[in-house]
Amino acid sequence: MNIAATPDKPALPEVEPATAALAETESSHELTNRERFLRACKCREVDRPPVWLMRQAGRALPEYRALKERYSFLELVQTPELATEVTLQPIRRFDFDAAILFSDILVVAEALGQRYRFSDGGGISMEFLLETRDDVGRLQPNAVTERLQYVSRALKLIRAALGKRTALLGFAGSPWTLANYMIEGGGVREYTKAKALLYDDRALFDRLLGTLTRAVSEFLQLQIEAGVEAVQVFDSLGGSLSEGSFGAGSGQWLKRVVEAVGGRVPVIVFSRGAHGNWPDLVDTGAAVLGIDWNINLAKLSRALPKHVAVQGNLDPFVLKTTPQVVAAETNRLLRGMRGRPGHIFNLGHGVPPEAKIENLEALVRTVHAWPRGAAEPEAIS
């Protein structure tokens, strides 16, 4: 499965099983990482909260940065062997309970015919923007599954490498979040044009969001067929909608995506900043709600239905501080969630590029040392 070598890009090594470096710890776990994660998604009791991190693949890892010196971001995303390697890197290093596919939410836009690239300054540039009714008509929903087969190939490689030890997560952007990027592009300080479309031309808005909902649903189905055991929908711009407009702008479309998955795997919905819309988010039918760091997780979890699991919500900023701070904040969250089934430990957003390896290690060790119902472990020094 080696990629052909070129003078500036030597061939990759064969994909190694993700369990190779972790085999010695297998016997110490009552549950496998995979079992722990999937039980937590269903609000069943576990020995400790499972842990994985948004944007755990890439960014802060030196092994990822080494690959980035040889390959572009899009090459890493679109080459199955490379996407597999990046996905497995944090599993080998940190023994997370779940691996998440290394990809990008805009692969759906590209599969619809709206290509994108990263500019020299690091921003996202779309080949064209959805500025008119005719632009929306240029989208090609019938081609999505065929154009995203490289994702299916990557997931099959990852699933084989993970074995039965670690859960595999797929993901997609929400229809609302994709619409914002596709209408305005990347690097926008405040997204407003999708919201304007919602109020000014509801028929066109619903047509666009319907197309995106179909595309996202088919993409998630493709991932499930390829072996993912749960999926996350990133509604990263959900918080830009008011309490009164969230249902029409995002909530109803999220619900249709969850319905399309049909219970085949648990669905995690992460709607960043949507703090006034918990009834809408519960109504989506998601098994798990991802929670950002700007709300008290323990208090919110007590207000949510007991069958809905929660994921979060450590402030990503603490990964830039010290291991002592990370351990203390991690313990604080674990303490608050003690006894609440269905807690998946995660950040309130993605791993920042400036995160320190020793802080990521402190986070993982602290969660791994947290036994259900036992005394709080000491902070890691």
Q: 271: number of CA atoms within 13 Å, CB side?
A: 33
Whether the Cβ atoms of residue 281 and residue 251 lie closer than 8 Å to each other: yes
The pair of structure tokens assigned to 36 is 């722990």
pLDDT of 297: 97
| Cα distances (Å, whole numbers) of residue 32 to 40, 114, 116 | 12, 41, 39
Residue 379 lies in a domain: no
pLDDT higher than 80, residue 158: yes
Question: Could you give the number of structural domains in the chain?
Answer: 1
Question: pLDDT per residue over 98-135, tens digit each?
Answer: 999 999 999 999 999 999 988 656 678 899 999 999 99
- Assessment of whether the complete model's pTM goes beyond 0.85: yes
In the 8-state DSSP scheme, what is residue 139?
-
CATH code at 336? 3.20.20.210
Reported confidence tier of residue 5, pLDDT bands at 50, 70, 90: low
The pair of structure tokens assigned to 73 is 């971001």
Collect all residues with Cβ–Cβ distance below 8 Å to 234 and sequence separation of at least 6: 105, 171, 172, 173, 174, 177, 270
pLDDT of 186: 85
Whether the Cβ atoms of residue 260 and residue 316 lie closer than 8 Å to each other: no
Residue 380 lies in a domain: no
Distance CA 341, CA 17 (A): 31
Note down the domain range covering 271.
Answer: 36-368
pLDDT higher than 90, residue 279: yes
pLDDT of 25: 42
Residue 290 lies in a domain: yes
Residue 75 lies in a domain: yes
pLDDT of 324: 98
Mean pLDDT computed over 184-198: 93
The pair of structure tokens assigned to 256 is 């249709």
Smallest CA-to-CA distance from 168 within 84, 101, 268 is with 101
Residue 11 lies in a domain: no
Question: pLDDT per residue over 330-345, tens digit each?
Answer: 999 999 999 999 999 9
Residue 213 lies in a domain: yes
Q: What value does the mean pLDDT of the chain take? A: 91
Residue 233 lies in a domain: yes
